[in-house]
Structure 1
Amino acid sequence: MAPSLMSRNGVEKNDKTFHKFFETWLAEQNQELKELVSVSRDVSKGNNIVVEERVLLPLIERVIQHYEGYYGEKSKYTEEDVFGMLNPTWRSNLEGAFLWIGGWRPSMAFHLLYSISGLQFEPRLPQLIRGITTGDLGDLSPDQIGKVDELQKKTIREEKDSSEKLARVQETVADASMVELSHIVTQLMMISGSGGGGGKILEEEVEANLATKEEGLVIILQKADNLRLNTLKEILTILTPTQAIHFLIAAAELHLRLHEWGKKKDAAALHSDADPKF
């Protein structure tokens, strides 16, 4: 693992590098969204079996691989700078307000699924009453609903476990060793009358103490990211290819639009702060 306290320049370099990767990944997701919307229209025109075999399944697999690539890259950066990954500067304040352990809350995927299912179900209700299947998320079978419910319960349990582990690591910031070190360093600073930290030996103690906490955070963040990815993949296995396309469309739309709305709000707030007040 990389040193626990990176130099400021190192952190900034790491931050900018992942930021660049993230922006590229978003552009790729936007292109995938266009493809998803296009094939969903082809499906609605009929000839579903041919479209599923030739287009839907390969596209779904490609989108999954794109998510896997994102989390694989994020895992590497997490080991270099877990603090930066838990507080991502490339996210807007709006997005940051809804983060759970450095990313989206896995159980949110089920709210997304039920929301789009309800939106698609209502206008097609007359068709469903007549026994005409729609094939989209408004047409979930009882078996699918049961599987989604079981997966949701499992996901919530794992979420809770990670939240509790994070809380335990966060509480160690006030453990006896940290309190003692902060007191000793403060006393030495007062005696010397400078901003010194009390010498190299003491700095090494601080470094070693923080390193153990950092290692705990790396494990928790990587586990949370695995849960995010696995939840997405398991939901897709429950859905038909056509339903999976609709779900991936909704997920991409929500992600991209939230990012855009957040950036606009941040820019507006920055502009407001820059205006002279009279």
Structure 2
Amino acid sequence: MDRPTETCNPISTINHGVNFETFINGWLIRQQNLHDQLLQALNYPENIDHNDEGKQYQALIDQVLCHYQQYYEEKSIAARKDVLVFFSPPWFTAFERSFFWVGGFKPTFVFKLLDDSSVEDLTEEQEREVQQIKSETRREERALDDKMARIQKTLASPPL
């Protein structure tokens, strides 16, 4: 659906330098406000001017679409600056980040992406450092896997 671009003022053009965590916190508040407006329009149609009903609904829909456009534009800008932050978002709670782990998206996955990308521009020293970080990450990951397995075993076995 084509919308006039003047109705959407992307936040990224307004807030240069704002980190994504700050942006997402404000974005979620604005999303809740838009959600409330949508619910009010659905639940209280008598508050809508029937002469301009279509325009009012369309304006609200345009605001919601613009809101999501802002999210994806800002996310794209942030990913270009530091894509790794999206592998373990600091704005997620520890509980939310655990879903990455449970879903198989472990830290070593980043190294698989690096290996698959055929990076050929690394110096020998950089390759050694990457291998060292990779082995440390695997070691930490195994230790955490073992700890999680022990916890799971404790929860699964009936108390005596």
TM superposition score normalised by structure 2 = 0.49
TM superposition score normalised by structure 1 = 0.30
Structure number with the bigger relative contact order (C-alpha 8 A, sep ≥ 6) is 1
